[in-house]
A and B are shown apart, each in its own frame.
Chain A
Amino acid sequence: MAGLEILSPEGLRLDGRRPHELRKIVCRVGVLSQADGSAYIEMGNTKALATVYGPHEVTSKAKALHDRVLLNCQFGMATFSTGERKRKPRGDRKSTELSMIIRRTFEAAIITELYPRSQIDIFVQVLQADGSNQAACINATTLALIDAGIPMKDYVSASTVSFVNDTPLMDINYLEESSGGPQLSLAILPKSEKVVLFQMDSRLHMDNMEKVLKLAVKGCKDVYTLLRRTIHEKAEEDSQSVSLT
């Protein structure tokens, strides 16, 4: 491609970042008062909104689990979130797969035995999509669950990494995503570095996997720093308002 160059010879990407830099992340917690927990996140131009309801009684009795909580997750993309209008915001194969991915990710992180035969509902909506949608949804859901007061082993932080010109790229945007290069989505528990989600598209030589994985873990830890700062600020605000009374 003469016009579009994913990585310039000077080492800069299309939006001016270096390969190991994240886009700007803006987080808000508690944006919806009628939900038990809610969070809004912007990773560059990707915007995601997550809400959590529960734990409450199981809606359909047949699905109740006698020893642990039942997680119900629904992922949707707004029709206006992409350049071309989506005709169907949820229910297609991609949304169903992403719903299942998010549910499996948080089943590993939530301490499920504390709420037997209960249900936790997670709703995630992508308001604007510009690459790394999955990572933005997982990060938003983490903040929403912590806002709801649901006990978790650790934060779940996610990032997406690509590989171009022998260089791993962190936090890819839509142009880098659609260029067809390999795409690795990783979500970890940052303290113990356990992997809770690992997904890979396209072809990548095994020799380069170590490099890509290392950058993905670093990306997750950078995101974790920002998520933790958001929760810390909110907890400090709450504790100050309590001590004032």
Chain B
Amino acid sequence: MSSDSEVSIAVPGERLGSLEQFQAGNGTYIRHGYVYSCLAGIKHVRQETQKPVISVVREEQENVVPGIGSIVTCKVTSVNPRFCKVAILGVQSTALKESFRGMIRKEDVRATEKDRVEIYKCFRPGDLVLAKVTSLGDAHSYQLSTADNNLGVVFAKSEAGATMNPVSWCEMQCPKTMAKEPRKVAKISPHE
């Protein structure tokens, strides 16, 4: 079997280059002035302003852990007057194999009128929510925030069990019963 000579494969521990020539990207680490690979995959060199960035990319799914500033997809698991608990199902565009626990506090639901927020009018159990990680929180869960126009509920079911359509930033409507339910709705661009 003839191997593809264009693709260069890096394995953990392999020295990729000097720090004077490259910056270290994903899948690499630095030791004693050299860049080494820490994944088994394909070597990539991307041109940047000062130095090219070298990284090692795997074809398979990456192992992702939510970090500060990541946009995560969550499912609401429980609601109480001060916060609601969510299960983080995906990070940016990657689905997680196992969910992480997150928490959206009352003060983090929206940027305006924080003191008048009522959690049960913003989220219900089972809703799918887009949120941003604001901190790693305490030992139990990630702190999330939906205080942005693009963050909030993206999918919800009504009391009758049908998928609701967003009608404004704070309301969703059931197509069956035409009843409106209050939610903190995310503003999603059409091409997303």
Chain A residues with CB under 8 Å of chain B are 36, 54-57, 61, 64, 66, 111, 114-118, 146-155, 189-191, 228, 231-232, 234-236, 238-240, 242-243
Residue of A nearest to B41 (CB): A235
Question: A236 to chain B: which residues have CB within 8 Å?
Answer: 3-4, 7, 9
Whether the Cβ atoms of B38 and A153 lie closer than 8 Å is yes
How far does the Cβ of B15 sit from chain A's closest Cβ, in whole Å? 8
How far does the Cβ of A218 sit from chain B's closest Cβ, in whole Å? 18
Residue of B nearest to A229 (CB): B11
Whether the Cβ atoms of B59 and A151 lie closer than 8 Å is no
Q: A151-B29, A240-B4 are in contact. Are A57 and B59 (CB under 8 A)?
A: no
Question: B36 to chain A: which residues have CB within 8 Å?
Answer: 153-154, 191
> Which among B15, B39, B65 is the interface contact of A118 at CB below 8 angstroms?
B65
Determine, out of B95-103, B105-113, B156-164, the stretch whose residues face the partner at the interface: B95-103
Whether the Cβ atoms of A57 and B29 lie closer than 8 Å is no
How far does the Cβ of A96 sit from chain B's closest Cβ, in whole Å? 26
Indicate the size class of the contact surface on chain B.
20 to 34
Question: A238 to chain B: which residues have CB within 8 Å?
Answer: 59-60
Residue B20 at the A interface, CB < 8 A?
Answer: no
Q: Can you list 14 A-B contacts with CB-CB less than 8 angstroms, sorted by A residue number?
A: A111-B29, A149-B58, A149-B60, A149-B62, A150-B63, A151-B29, A151-B38, A151-B39, A153-B13, A155-B13, A191-B14, A236-B9, A239-B9, A243-B7
- List the count of A-B residue pairs having beta carbons below 8 Å apart: 93
Whether the Cβ atoms of A239 and B59 lie closer than 8 Å is yes
Q: Please report the C-alpha to C-alpha distance between residue A33 and residue B100 in the assembled complex, in whole angstroms.
A: 23
Chain B residues with CB under 8 Å of chain A are 3-4, 7, 9, 11-15, 27, 29, 31, 36, 38-42, 58-63, 65, 97-101, 136, 139-140
Closest 7 CB pairs of A and B: A154-B13, A151-B38, A56-B98, A152-B12, A235-B9, A191-B13, A239-B7
Question: B65 to chain A: which residues have CB within 8 Å?
Answer: 55, 114-116, 118
Q: Please report the C-alpha to C-alpha distance between residue A56 and residue B91 in the assembled complex, in whole angstroms.
A: 13
Whether the Cβ atoms of A154 and B12 lie closer than 8 Å is yes
Whether the Cβ atoms of B9 and A66 lie closer than 8 Å is no
Question: B12 to chain A: which residues have CB within 8 Å?
Answer: 146, 151-155
Q: A57-B99, A190-B13, A236-B9 are in contact. Are A153 and B139 (CB under 8 A)?
A: no
Q: Please report the C-alpha to C-alpha distance between residue A190 and residue B3 in the assembled complex, in whole angstroms.
A: 26
Q: Please report the C-alpha to C-alpha distance between residue A220 and residue B132 in the assembled complex, in whole angstroms.
A: 46
How far does the Cβ of B56 sit from chain A's closest Cβ, in whole Å? 9
Q: A236-B4, A243-B4 are in contact. List 7 more A-B contacts (CB 8 A).
A: A61-B140, A66-B139, A146-B40, A150-B63, A151-B38, A228-B11, A243-B7
Q: A57-B100, A236-B9 are in contact. Are A153 and B41 (CB under 8 A)?
A: no
How far does the Cβ of A97 sit from chain B's closest Cβ, in whole Å? 27
Question: A115 to chain B: which residues have CB within 8 Å?
Answer: 63, 65
How far does the Cβ of B14 sit from chain A's closest Cβ, in whole Å? 8
Q: Please report the C-alpha to C-alpha distance between residue A228 and residue B9 in the assembled complex, in whole angstroms.
A: 11
Whether the Cβ atoms of A57 and B98 lie closer than 8 Å is yes
Residue of B nearest to A147 (CB): B40
Q: Please report the C-alpha to C-alpha distance between residue A111 and residue B100 in the assembled complex, in whole angstroms.
A: 21
